[in-house]
Amino acid sequence: MSKILFVVTGADTLTLADGTAHPTGFWAEEFVAPYEAFRAAGHEVVVATPGGVVPTVDRASLAPEMNGGRENADRITAAVESSPELRHPLRLEDVRLEEYAAVFYPGGHGPMEDLAVNADSGRLLARALESGLPLGVVCHGPAALLAAVGPDGGNVFAGYEVAAFTDAEEIQGGLADRAPWLLQQRLTEAGVLVRAGEPWAPHVVTDRNLVTGQNPASSAPLAQELLARLG
């Protein structure tokens, strides 16, 4: 059994362009689908957050319309509420990367608030990338890549192909005109090569040891890709 590190946002709001706070957190499906896949394969999951705060689930991600109906929404909600790893996270600052076989970042808008500017997360990502460790990041999770800056001041993921929540999806989701910035645009400015798929459809991009997914529907296939790399 291997240990897989989930780095989860500690933010419960996103500061919008007008300065107001928009409730958010991590997106339930993006945690639950990989969590269940890794656990079913016999792996241990460890959650870490900035400061070791208990992460907040984005309540919108528990709605029936986001989960294909009430039955699955209830199942996802129960999975989040029953996960001991979410209730007892490690401090991200104390993580020893060598203890883990893979690293995974779920999304939700929360990472845009904290992980996008978190130096500890940025250093961990840079070390994972350099080490060749399987590294999975989904939806808004790639906001964390923005904090991974090398000694030369450039982004260590520059030139890597990734999937991430697209500007088109942000527009269709209704937040684009109020968001402080758009993820696809900001990644592109950092030199990261965003390969967009169809809005809301599963889309996974692999580049060396980096495996990325575009949206919540991509989290399950991304988890399978990571599992294949773990053997």
Q: What is the pLDDT of residues 34-48, one digit of tens each?
A: 999 999 999 999 999
In order, the DSSP letters of 107-146 are -SSHHHHTGGG-HHHHHHHHHHHHHT--EEEETTGGGGGG
Token pair listed for 33: 């689908």
| 228: its two tokens | 């294949």
- The phi and psi torsions of 45 (rounded to 5 degrees) equal -110, 135
CB 156 within 8 A of CB 149: yes
For the chain, give the number of residues: 231
Q: What separation, in Å, do the N-terminal and C-terminal C-alpha atoms of the chain show?
A: 11
Q: In this predicted structure, what is the pLDDT of residue 231?
A: 76
Per-residue pLDDT, averaged over 215-231, amounts to 96
Mean pLDDT of 22-36: 98
The string of pLDDT tens digits covering residues 72-112 is 999 999 999 999 999 999 999 999 999 999 999 999 999 99
Q: Give mean pLDDT, residues 144-156.
A: 96
Helix axes 219-230, 28-40, angle to 10 degrees: 30
Pairing of strands 44-49, 90-91: parallel
pLDDT band, residue 169 (cuts 50/70/90): very high
The proportion of the chain whose per-residue pLDDT surpasses 90, expressed as a percent, equals: 99
Average predicted confidence (pLDDT) for the chain: 97
The span from the CA of 99 to the CA of 131, in Å, is: 13
Average confidence (pLDDT) over 189-217: 98
pLDDT tens track for 112-131:
999 999 999 999 999 999 99
* CA of residue 105 relative to chain centroid, distance: 3
